[in-house]
Amino acid sequence: MLIRLGYDLQFEIGQTVPIVTLLSVHPSRRHDLQGPDRVIAEPAVPATEYTDSFGNICTRLLAPPGTIRLTNSTVIQDSGLLDPASPGAREVPVEELPTETLRFLMASRFCEVDLLSPVAVELFGALPRGWSRVAAICEWVHSKVTFSYPHARPTRTALDVFTERIGVCRDFQHLAITLCRCLNIPARYATGYLGDIGVPLSDTAMDFSAWFEVFLEDRWWTFDARHNRARIGRVLIATGLDATDVAITTSFGNARLSHFEVVTDEIG
C-alpha cells in the first residue's frame, strides 16, 4: 500500500524564534519512503537535521519575523496490515530487559509513575502478565476517559487524566504509559501519521496522532489507548518518554500557529 504523507504548517512570528521540529518519518521507516522527506521552509531559512537521544530526526531552524511555512509531501510504502499483535508475548522481568529499555520505566513530566503506582497495582497487579495485561490497561483507559478536543490542555499529566477522565489522544496514551511503567513494563510515547485507512472517515480535520509502544518479549509493540483497536497505516515519526520529547514543533519564543494541515491518504 502507498500512503501520501504531508503537512502544511504556518506560523506568524514577531521576533526571530528558534524552532525545533519533529516532522521527519522515523529512521526505522526511512527505507519505505518513496521520495525525499525533508522539511521545506518558506522563506528558505537554513535548517539543520540532527538525531536526538531517542533516535528521532529533528530539524532546527531560525524563523525570521513574518510568516513561516513548513511543508512537505512524500509517499511511503506500507504493508497495509494491521498493527502487529502477539497475544502470547510475555512481559520481560526487569533484570532481563535490554538496558536501552530501562529509561522507559522512569517517571517523566506527564507520567507520574511514583504517584500512580498504588492505583496501577490495585487495578492490574493481579492480572496475568504479558500482552493481555497491557491490553487490559488500554481497555480500561479507553473506557474510562472521554475524548474531547475542546478539553485539550498542554499541561495535563497522567494523574490529571486519571482524575478528570477527559482528554485528547496524548492524554489517553500518557495514562496508559504511566500504568505500564508502574508495573515495570517499558512504555514509550509515539507520534506519527495515522490516516482513516480501514476505518470510517473521521469528521474532524486530519492531525498527527499519538499512540504508544510497549516492550514485550523481545521488541516494541504498538498500542493505542485512544482508539483501542489495531489500525492500518501508522507511520512513526518519533518516540520519547512522553509528549514533551516529541512535540511536532517546539518554539523557543512566540510563534502563533496560523495554519495547520496534515495529509495521510492511501493512494494505491
Q: What is the smallest separation between the CB atom of 30 and a copy of itself, expressed in angstroms?
A: 19
Interaction of residue 4 with a copy of itself, rule CB under 8 A:
no
Other Cβ atoms less than 10 A from the Cβ of 48: the count is 10
From 73-81, 113-121, 125-133, 200-208, span contacting a copy of itself (CB under 8 A): 113-121
Question: Rounded distance, CA 40 to CA 73, Å?
Answer: 9
Q: What is the smallest separation between the CB atom of 97 and a copy of itself, expressed in angstroms?
A: 8
**What residue has cell string 512566540?**
254
Which backbone phi and psi does 131 adopt, to 5 degrees? Answer: -45, -45
Which backbone phi and psi does 38 adopt, to 5 degrees? Answer: -130, 140
Q: What is the smallest separation between the CB atom of 198 and a copy of itself, expressed in angstroms?
A: 32
In terms of CB distance, is 130 or 240 closer to a copy of itself?
A: 240
On whether the CB atoms of residues 192 and 237 are closer than 8 A, the answer is: yes
Other Cβ atoms less than 10 A from the Cβ of 231: the count is 18
Q: Where are the alpha helices (DSSP H) in the chain?
A: 113-124, 131-144, 158-164, 169-182
Q: At residue 15, what is the residue type?
A: Q
From 69-77, 83-91, 194-202, 244-252, span contacting a copy of itself (CB under 8 A): 244-252
In terms of CB distance, is 50 or 90 closer to a copy of itself?
A: 50
What x-and-dash track marks residues 152-191 binding a copy of itself by CB under 8 A?
-xxx---x---xxx------------------x-------
C-alpha cell at 238: 518519533
On whether the CB atoms of residues 141 and 179 are closer than 8 A, the answer is: yes
Q: Which of residues 115-144 bind a copy of itself (CB under 8 A)?
A: 115-116, 118-119, 144
Interaction of residue 1 with a copy of itself, rule CB under 8 A:
no
Q: What is the smallest separation between the CB atom of 6 and a copy of itself, expressed in angstroms?
A: 26
Question: Rounded distance, CA 25 to CA 57, Å?
Answer: 8
The residues binding a copy of itself (CB under 8 A) are 18, 20, 48, 50, 52-53, 58, 60, 62, 93-95, 99-100, 102-103, 105-109, 111-112, 114-116, 118-119, 144, 150-151, 153-155, 159, 163-165, 184, 244-245, 252
